[in-house]
Amino acid sequence: MSGVHVDELLSDHVRGELTDAERTQVEAHLVECAACRSAREGIAHLMSELARTAPVPPPIHWGAYRAELRERIERRGSQPGALWSWLVRPAPALVAAGLVAALVYVGLPGTAPGPGAPDPLALDSTILASRLDLLARLDVVQHLDLLEDFNVIGELDELPEPSKS
């Protein structure tokens, strides 16, 4: 207990939660220190006041509460990829990162085109343009499960248009 000031132990003293050694130390101090005796009295009064006047939360309908809880559990249970759903949230970020990586790869020295090769800027633009449809379909990508993503992303053209509703 060394290093702990007695005043930090006063609320536990009020509640009788101190070890024998701590209680002995606190009580020895209280005999000598009027300020701490007064503080202990104040804390005891305050704690009693807090326990007596604790606010009552607004009432709720417990039947509805349990029904809602059951519904939430069933909803989770009916989603086979419930755990995966937390993991696939970064999917759009992964897609974007993939695009950036592709562009960076094209710009790397080892991948630089030789003489007579197509203009790299034009190549960048071509790659970016080829991926724009993917960004345009972000609403589709966002709702894909992770495992589905990798199979489907390559065949986005074959996906139906998202519903407008």
Partner 1 sequence: MESSDEQLCRDVAERKPGAFDLLVGRYQERAYRIAWSIVRDREEAKDCSQDAFLRLHEAAGSFAGQSKFSTWFYRILVNCCLDQQRRRRGWRRLVGWRDRRADGEDEPDPVEQAPAPLTDPLEHVDAERRMSRVWELVEELSPQQRAAVTLQCREGLATKEIAVVLKLSEATVRVHLHRALSTLRKRLGDEG
Name the site residues for partner 1 (rule: CB under 8 A).
4, 7-12, 15, 17, 39, 42-43, 46-47, 49-51, 53-58, 60, 62, 65-66, 68-69, 72-73, 76
- Cβ neighbours for 106, distance < 8 A, ≥ 6 positions apart: 120, 123, 124, 127
Query: Contact 76/82 with Cβ under 8 angstroms?
Result: yes
Q: Which is nearer to partner 1, 11 or 137 (CB)?
A: 11
For partner 1, the closer of residues 57 and 154 by Cβ is 57
Q: Do 39 and 10 contact (CB within 8 A), yes or no? A: yes
Q: Which is closer to partner 1, CB of 73 or CB of 147? A: 73
Q: In this complex, which beta carbon is closest to partner 1, that of residue 54 or of residue 122?
A: 54
Least distance to partner 1, CB of residue 89, Å: 15
Length of the chain equals 165
Q: How many CA atoms lie within 13 A of 59 on its CB side?
A: 2
Compute the least distance from the CB of residue 68 to partner 1, in Å: 7
- For the packed helices 146-153 and 91-107, what is the interaxial angle rounded to 10 degrees? 40
Smallest separation, CB 49 to partner 1 (Å): 5
Q: How far is the CB of 67 from partner 1 (least distance, A)?
A: 11
Give the nearest distance from C-beta 50 to partner 1 in angstroms: 4
Using CA atoms, how far residue 154 sits from 49, 94, 101, in Å, is: 66, 14, 17
Task: Give the residue with the Cβ less far from partner 1, 46 or 159.
Answer: 46
User: What is the 8-class DSSP label of residue 165?
Assistant: -
CA 101-160-99 angle, 5° bins: 5
